[in-house]
Structure 1
Amino acid sequence: MEKQKLSLGDSSGETSEVKRSVCTEEKFVWPWVGLVANIQTEVDKTGRRVGRSGSTLRDELIQKGFNPTRVQPIWNFKGHSGFALVEFTKDIKGFENAMNFERSYKSDGHGKKDWEKGVHLRDDKPYGWVCREDDYNRSGIVGKNVKKKRDLKSVSQLQEEEERKMVQLVENMSQSIEMKMISKQELEHKVDETSRVLQSVEFHNYQLNQTYKQEVEKMQTNLHDLYQQIIIGHEKSMSDLETEREKLENRARQICIDEAEMEKSRLEIEMNQKAMLEQNEANMEAMKLAEKHQKEKEKLHEKIMEMEAKLNETQELELEIEKLKGSSNVMKHMADGDVDVELMEKMAKTQMELEAREAALYDKIKSVTQKERMANDEFQEARKEMIQFWNENEDLVSGEKIRVKRMGQLDTKPFVVAVKKKLRGGSRAKAELKAMELCSFWEGQVGDVHWYPFKVDESDGIAKIVVDNKDEKLIKLKDAYGEELYKEVVRAKREIVEYNPSGGYVVSELWNFEKNRKATMEEVTDVMLKIRKTVVAMKNKRKRR
């Protein structure tokens, strides 16, 4: 919606016409409507008068450049009355088309004054003019149709109404922006609180990890001491048995003459050998137990190394839980040995505590994520409203650095330059026509979602999207029309891929043309507040007059 000031037309004739309308407070029928009179009719077989259809008249007026939205013939009880209403759009462009429509008929001697003088009685050409107050108050079927769903308004009244609407729109948008900014600040505060909670949990997890490592080291020390005690006991037992064996052998040598004594000694020696065998078996069992503890120790060490590697790959909370599970499994394997029951109970309690903290933390993160998604949806909706405001008020924002950019739309200038350079010596009209055809073709190519002239380049260790130099379409375009046209097509396709890869059509975006990037909501808000201040100042100045 354009702002309706005195710039209702570009030509000097239009400007003088509008100034005269404003000065005399001439009232027009609103929405703009023209009246065509003296339409030739004839009597059909039924006795009713018929004439040219509204669509036929509309097409003729469109060809003349007046662009009406609808042409409605006026019918009475006899049939076609010879009159027709020509409706135009409600904006400034519609007013310009209506005035051009009236001037066309007036310059040809078929205006309203010519009709009122009775000139139409001498020819069969149609007469036309824009409906004003006298047409609105006309009696009969023509006046009745002109009044239908229409009103009388001056240009200045329409200007004031549009300015009031504009001020109200800016005020509403400003209030909406302020509310959204407050909501954003609240969300940021909640995110900060969540970050502090996460830091506290992370520190607590670190402390638990350190405690766990200390307990594991203590358990390894206890296993090593047990192993040493078993070896020392084995060596002492072997030494005692060896000493006893030597004593028995000496005694056997001393009593070898006494057969009875010898038999007794033999029995004692056998008993001693049997005891040594039993002791050896006991020592073997002790060695097996020591080896078992050593293997458990090695497995535990491997488990610790594995868990330390996982610590760098997964989230801290999940690692802590896996560590506790691993520790529980190690304890289960060692259930037949000497196990610190207090340590196992402590590890189980720690695991339960971590699981509870994990569930609470996930719930909090889920809640914050949902609120952040809702805030993002609200910001996207506000951005769409901003784009609509910019499109409808181009005259207000034309001088600002923040304007609407149609992402993926091709610029026709490089096409015209490239075609003229290629068709040297040809006519300008032919070159421009060829450029428009070429631009239309490449608009279709850019919007084709199946054409993707890019590839992923990881030559420097960082994955990035680059143009595929082997793409046949781009190669042919570059060879035929040069580097500048090639760059323009690549730019438009990049924007389509970035902003609407699935749809492939042009989308509007608020753009900072000074910094050549997407405009932030803060920048857009600053421009809105600036516009609001300007509009309010204009309104106050008009009231003082």
Structure 2
Amino acid sequence: MEKNQQKQEFLAETSEMKNTKNNDDCSVQQQQRFVWPWVGLVANIPTEVEPSGRRVGKSGSTLRDEFTMKGFNPTRVQPIWDFKGHSGFALVEFAKDFEGFESAMNFERSFNLDRHGKRDWEKGHRLRDNKLYGWVAREDDYNRSDTVGKNVKKKRDLKSISQIVEEDERKMVHLVENMSQTIEKKKQSKQELEQKVDETSRFLESLELHNVLLNKNYQEGFQKMQMKMEELYQQVLDGHEKSLAELEAKREKLDERARLIEQRAIINEEEMEKSRLEREMNQKAMCEQNEANEEAMKLAEKHQASSSLKEKEKLHKRIMEMEAKLNETQELELEIEKLKGTTNVMKHMVGSDGDKDIVEKIAKTQIQLDAQETALHEKMMTLARKERATNDEYQDVLKEMIQVWNANEELMKQEKIRVKRMGQLNPAPFLPAVMKKHKVTQSKAENKAMKLCSVWEANIGDVQWTPFRVDESDGTPKRVVDENDEKLRTLKNQYGEEVYNEVVRTKLEIEEHNASGSYVILELWNYEENRKATMEEATDVMLKIRSKLAAMKNKRKRLEV
């Protein structure tokens, strides 16, 4: 803006010069060609001859300070040297803009007023004193063939005021056009950005509503499922308690019956053993009866033959003995019949209706228990299907939320809930470990570290490699590092503790979050508490980011108004 104002003031001054009496001189001055960038010449600089024969004079910085004190504001003063040394001339450089031109013209006017300008130098007035002579370099200075002219030509050109003005106008027009195009592109980019922000805001609003509805449905479904599970468990528990009570009562009855039957069986065995002994005795008695009968027949025959009284008495005594044995045998047979009756009664009791009812009730109870177990299994399968469907929907929402996080990474980077790549190996500790071990240059160490990191990424992704064991020493099973694992032990010995800890951390992360796949997965992670973020925490952060986007949008609208 200041440059444009200076140029406009300069053009105004030149237009006023055209309306004055010196109209012709002003026109000539506008057509004059100056050396550009603006440069002045200083002549008659005092020099001295050193013993070596080389001329020396004032330095450029000293002359620059002197001219600055006078208000000419030169950017640099450069003495001109030739083969003899200091030539007594110096170039005074000014700024390229019109403010620099004004300073150059003031520089020239100052020397002209002191009668130490270019004309005075050319007329020979320099012979009168040792003061400096100065003027602004023009076409004749530019075309000089001496050392002064060569130094004036370096990186400079001849231009008139009108040419410089026209060139500045062209540059200004080009700059305005470029600025206009840039502004249009910025406007277009701004509109596209606003459109993206609006789309993101609408998406976040819909996602927020979807999350609210999903969370509500999940909570309601979870509560209903819990209520149904509690009712079902209560029904099953009640049924089991009732069945157990019935079975316990029946078991007690059956135990009582078993004890009675066992007692009766013991008695029955004793009776059967007694009956067996009686039958054997009866059989023995019958054999003895037969023998006695035979013996009696023999005695009768003998009695008839001998007709002896003594023999008759012996025979009578023998008959009396045999009759006594016969009575005893009859009593044994009566006892056997009684035992048979008792045995039939016992058989009748064992086959009674009471035992059949108990058996039927037990069978019926078992059927009811089987039916309840079948119904419970079907309900559990239904709940499992619902849980899988809910989990699938949850995973879809989680993927969408991760996409939103990645799309708004700049807004999310200060939040405690951010996306984490689970199971990704950090290459940072590998480079210093490689440099410490191999003592190589930075570039070679970087290549070795990159290769080493790639090798361990492949090892971590190998599902067959499991360098952990389960420790249950404190009663709780937990996964710990297997100290006998050859790979980890070699890595720790060769590259140190930090690389070893990073590999163990990454492998453990893979085992815990994606053991079946063994590849890197994305998770929403609570970096403040170092755990997996909950759906409620992620939703709160998304609501916060949506508020920021809405505030940014409202601020832009206010600025546009």
Does the 8 A contact of 1:448 with 1:504 survive in 2? Answer: yes
One-letter amino acid of the structure 1 residue matched with residue 331 of structure 2: N
Who is 1:192 aligned against?
A: 226
Give the corresponding residue for 2:380: 365
C-alpha displacement at 1:378, in angstroms?
A: 0.5
Any conservation in 2 of the 1:509–1:518 contact (CA below 8 Å)?
A: yes
Report deviation, 1:380.
Answer: 1.0
For 1:296, the equivalent position in structure 2 comes to: none
Q: Counterparts of 1:483 and 1:338 in 2: how far apart (Å)?
A: 82
- Map 1:53-452; keep pairs closer than 5 Å: 154-193=188-227, 194-226=229-261, 228=263, 267-279=326-338, 336=351, 339-423=354-438, 426-452=440-466
Q: How big is the alpha-carbon RMSD for the aligned residues of Structure 1 and Structure 2? A: 4.0
Q: Aligned pair in 2 of structure 1 residues 336, 394: CA closer, same or farther (>3 Å)?
A: same
CA distance in 2 between counterparts of 1:470 and 1:363 reads 47
Equivalent residue, structure 2, for 1:139 = none
Q: Which amino acid aligns with 1:365?
A: M
CA positional deviation for 1:423: 4.9
Q: Is the contact between residue 407 and residue 507 of structure 1 (CA under 8 Å) also seen in structure 2?
A: yes
1 CA distance for matches of 2:495 and 2:271?
99
**Alignment partners' CA distance in 2, 1:500 and 1:234:** 71
2:519 is paired with a residue whose SS is coil
Please say if residues 456 and 464 of structure 1, whose CA atoms lie closer than 8 Å, have aligned partners that are also in contact: yes
The reply on whether 1:490 has 2:524 as its aligned counterpart is no
Whole-angstrom CA distance in 2 between matches of 1:286 and 1:215: 26
Distance 1:338 1:398, change over 3 A: same
How far residue 355 of structure 1 moved from its aligned partner, in angstroms, is 2.6
- Contact 1:187/1:372 (8 A) holds in 2: no
Q: In structure 2, how many angstroms separate the alpha carbons of the residues matched to 1:495 and 1:235?
A: 77
Matched, 1:535 2:549: yes
AA in 2 matched with 1:351: Q
Larger radius of gyration: 2
For 2:270 and 2:479, locate their aligned partners in 1 and report how far apart those are by CA, in whole Å. Answer: 73
| Higher mean displacement: 367-376 or 341-350 | 341-350
Checking the alignment, whether the CA contact within 8 Å between 2:194 and 2:553 is kept in structure 1 is: no
Q: Could you tell me how far 1:176 is from its partner in structure 2?
A: 1.6
Distance 1:467 1:286, change over 3 A: farther
Residue type at the aligned position of 2:333: K
Whole-Å separation in 1 of the counterparts to 2:388 and 2:461: 30
> In the aligned structure 2, how far is the partner of 1:512 from the partner of 1:496?
18
Residue identity matched to 2:357: E
| Cα-to-partner distance string for 1:406-427 (whole Å, 9 max, x where unaligned) | 1111112211232343355x54
Kindly indicate whether the alpha-carbon contact (under 8 Å) linking 1:133 and 1:152 is maintained by their aligned counterparts in 2. Answer: no
- The aligned residue for residue 7 of structure 1 is none
Post-superposition shift, 1:260?
8.5
Amino acid at match of 1:447: G
1:261 positional shift: 7.8
User: What is the CA-CA distance between 1:431 and the residue it aligns to?
Assistant: 3.3
Pick the aligned partner of 1:516 from 526, 530, 533: 530
Deviates more, 1:385-394 or 1:429-438: 429-438
CA contact (8 A) 1:230 1:286 kept: no
Supply the distance in 2 between the matched residues of 1:236 and 1:457 (Cα, whole angstroms). 66
Deviation at 1:337, TM superposition (A): 6.8
Q: Residues 336 and 183 (structure 1 numbering): CA distance in 2 closer, same or farther, change over 3 Å? A: same
Residues 280-308 of structure 1: per-residue CA shift (max 9 Å, x gap): 6777x689x79xx9xxxxxxxxxxxxxxx
Deviations 1:339-385 (A, max 9, x none): 52332232233223223322222222221111111101100111111
Distance (whole Å) between structure 2 residues aligned to residue 476 and residue 264 of structure 1: 110
Which residue identity does 2:222 align to in structure 1? E
**Which of residues 493, 501, 504 in structure 1 aligns to 2:518?**
504
Partner SS for 1:400: coil
Is the 2:422–2:523 Cα contact (8 Å) retained in structure 1? yes
Q: Return the alpha-carbon distance in structure 2 between the equivalents of residues 399 and 265 of structure 1.
A: 122
Alpha-carbon distance in 2 for matches of 1:415, 1:387: 29
Q: Deviations over 1:74-122 (max 9, x none)?
A: xxxxxxxxxxxxxxxxxxxxxxxxxxxxxxxxxxxxxxxxxxx9xxxxx
Please give the secondary structure, in 2, of the residue aligned with 1:448.
coil
Q: CA 1:265/1:510 → structure 2, altered by over 3 Å: closer, same or farther?
A: same
Q: For the structure 1 residues 468 and 230, does the alpha-carbon distance in structure 2 shift closer, same or farther, using more than 3 Å as the test?
A: closer
- Distance change >3 Å, CA 233–CA 513, structure 1 → 2: closer
Q: CA deviation at 1:152?
A: 11
Tell whether the 8 Å contact from 1:457 to 1:465 is kept in structure 2 after alignment. Answer: yes
Q: Which amino acid aligns with 1:184?
A: Y
Q: Cα distance 1:222–1:397, how it changes in 2: closer, same or farther (>3 A)?
A: same
The Cα of 1:443 is off from its aligned counterpart by 2.0
The alpha-carbon distance between structure 1 residues 442 and 259, as it changes in their structure 2 partners (threshold 3 A), is: closer
CA contact (8 A) 1:477 1:486 kept: yes
In structure 1, distance between residues paired with 2:424 and 2:490: 21
What residue is the counterpart of 2:106 in the other structure? none
SS of 2:362's partner is helix
Counterpart Cα distance in 2 of 1:211 and 1:410: 63
Query: RCO greater where, 1 or 2, for CA within 8 Å and sep 6 or more?
Result: 1
Using the alignment, how far apart are the partners of 2:220 and 2:384 within structure 1? 14
| TM-score normalised according to structure 2 size | 0.53
Amino acid in structure 2 at the alignment position of 1:340? D
Residues in 2 aligned to 1:476 and 1:273: alpha-carbon distance in whole angstroms: 97
For structure 1, list consecutive stretches of 5 or more residues without a partner in the other structure: 1-116, 118-130, 136-150, 243-255, 294-333
SS of match in other structure, 1:475: helix
Q: What is the rounded CA distance, in whole Å, between the counterparts of 1:233 and 1:409 in structure 2? A: 83
> 1:267 deviation in Å?
4.1
What's the secondary structure of 1:221's corresponding residue? helix
Write the letter of the residue equivalent to 2:249.
Answer: Q
Whether the aligned pair in 2 keeps the contact of 1:510 and 1:519 (CA below 8 Å) is yes
Task: Show the counterpart of 1:16.
Answer: none
Aligned 8 A contact 2:431 2:445 in 1: yes
Alignment deviations for residues 412-455 of structure 1 (CA, whole Å, 9 cap, x no partner): 2211232343355x544443343333223322222233333223
Q: How many residues in Structure 1 have an aligned counterpart in Structure 2?
A: 344
Instruction: Name the % identity.
Output: 44
Separation of aligned partners in 2, 1:346 and 1:489: 65
Contact 1:500 1:507 in 2 (8 A): yes
- 1:458–1:464 CA contact under 8 A, matched in 2: yes
For 1:78, the equivalent position in structure 2 comes to none
